[in-house]
């Protein structure tokens, strides 16, 4: 979506790259900070229930497209792990990190596949987020079943986490599309004013 707006304004490639890099960095920072806030307010269980890192990643996919979204989905849990490890309390935990990287990559890539459609019709953010959430969670579950012999995460554990996080996903399935549609309106308004 951001790419379409920048192209419509005839922004040079180097500036488009800079804008998308800055937006990606802000989203990764949000994906690191938001879980910290949720953990402060709701405790350790709050992360599994509200899935705070997923919200910025979904937003990133919708706004940036699948390629940049994929990068945000991969970098967010890695950045969080590295930063929080320095404080002595790694989030996500090392055992969960590869799964979260894979899951969030799917979340961002799938929602990013809808980016051009969202640019045309803001309501497309709803199926984008729903399909991304289902795809990401199913992928997480499949990975857990495939690697349960060599991992501390079993399929049953992951299924329990998915059920616990259902409320958070439902909230995001409503909140993220409205955020995306609001940002789309702002970007489109700015685009019309410059024409």
Interval 29-59: pLDDT, tens? 999 999 999 999 998 889 999 999 999 999 9
Q: Could you give the number of structural domains in the chain?
A: 1
Residues recorded for the chain: 195
**In-domain check, residue 129:** yes
**In-domain check, residue 172:** yes
Q: Tokens in use for 50?
A: 């509200």
The domain that holds 59 is classified in CATH as 1.10.1760.20
Closest CA to 180 of 34, 6, 27: 27
In order of 19, 22, 176, the CA distances from 52 in angstroms are 24, 21, 12
The residue range of the domain holding 127 is 2-190
Instruction: Enter the pTM of the model.
Output: 0.94
**In-domain check, residue 138:** yes
> For residue 24, what pLDDT is reported?
98
Distance between CA atoms of residues 55 and 27, nearest Å = 9
Which contiguous run of DSSP H or E holds residue 119?
helix 115-120
pLDDT in tens, 136-180: 999 999 999 999 999 888 999 999 999 999 999 999 999 999 999
**In-domain check, residue 195:** no
Distance between CA atoms of residues 14 and 20, nearest Å = 10
């Amino acid at each position: 979506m951001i790419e379409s707006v920048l192209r419509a304004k005839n922004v040079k490639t180097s500036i488009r790259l800079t804008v998308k890099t800055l937006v990606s960095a802000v989203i990764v920072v949000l994906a690191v900070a938001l879980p910290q806030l949720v953990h402060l307010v709701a405790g350790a269980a709050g992360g599994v229930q509200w899935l705070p890192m997923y919200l910025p990643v979904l937003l990133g996919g919708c706004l940036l497209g699948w390629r940049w979204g994929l990068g945000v989905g991969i970098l967010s849990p890695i950045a969080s792990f590295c930063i929080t490890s320095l404080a002595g309390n790694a989030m996500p935990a090392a055992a969960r990190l590869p799964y979260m990287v894979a899951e969030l990559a799917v979340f961002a890539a799938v929602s990013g596949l809808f980016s051009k459609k969202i640019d045309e019709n803001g309501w497309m953010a709803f199926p984008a987020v729903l399909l991304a959430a289902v795809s990401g969670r199913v992928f997480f579950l499949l990975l857990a079943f495939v690697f349960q012999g060599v991992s501390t995460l079993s399929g049953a554990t992951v299924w329990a986490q998915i059920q616990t996080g259902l409320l958070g996903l439902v909230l995001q399935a409503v909140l993220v599309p409205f955020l995306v549609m609001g940002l789309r309106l702002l970007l489109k308004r700015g685009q019309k004013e410059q024409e």
